[in-house]
Amino acid sequence: MNTERAIFASGCFWGTEFYMKKAEGVISTAPGYIGGTLENPTYKDVCTGRTGHAEAVEVIYDPEKISYSDLTKLFFETHEPGQVDGQGPDIGPQYRSGIFYLNDEQKQTAEELIQQLKDKGYKVVTEVTKATTFYPAEDYHHDYYGKNGHSPYCHRYVKKF
């Protein structure tokens, strides 16, 4: 099977993973940390807001079943891309909106979708940044809502495209 990888940050990684894992064509998801200066950060480190990392989700998907564009649209439709350094009650740079692209095609797709949203009147502060090392989060963060029977508190689906 041919697979591809995408990395998105949209606030608490629990909510981001909740929606990504439901998309048809997504093979696996993993919460983690990206974009900072500390090697092998822990949740406690990232929560200080001083490491530069964002809480993010790595998505492994089948491009024959779902496109990178469709995943990126889902990313934008399940969080508020106009909120600076946070989502809902989660505030801090670790909760920023970001797309960590792995190639020029992903970067171009992200930039085109951001422009489409802006053309529709949405405020978008989402960072589009070349991916650096992705550090998986501690085991208890993986499939958090599935394991605990809760629903996201700072993410919800809103059709934008």
For 12-35, write each residue's pLDDT tens digit. Answer: 999 999 999 999 999 999 999 999
User: Does the annotation count 12 as an active-site position?
Assistant: yes
**Quick one: residue 37, left, alpha or beta (phi over 0 = left, psi -120 to 50 = alpha)?**
alpha
For 53-100, write each residue's pLDDT tens digit. Answer: 999 999 999 999 999 999 999 999 999 999 999 998 899 999 999 999
Given a contact cutoff of 8 angstroms between Cβ atoms, the answer to whether 57 and 29 are in contact is yes
**Among residues 6, 7, 12, 34, which one is catalytic?**
12
The CA-based angle 47-51-56, given to 5 degrees, is: 65
Domains and their CATH numbers in the chain: 4-148 (3.30.1060.10)
Q: Which residues, listed in sequence order, are joined to residue 87 by a DSSP beta bridge?
A: 90
Given a contact cutoff of 8 angstroms between Cβ atoms, the answer to whether 3 and 65 are in contact is no
User: Residue 159 gets which letter from DSSP?
Assistant: -
What is the average pLDDT score of the chain? Answer: 95
Please tell me the distance from the alpha carbon of residue 161 to that of residue 111, in angstroms, as a whole number.
14
Please give the model's pTM, rounded to 2 decimal places: 0.95
Residue 34 has what pLDDT?
Answer: 98
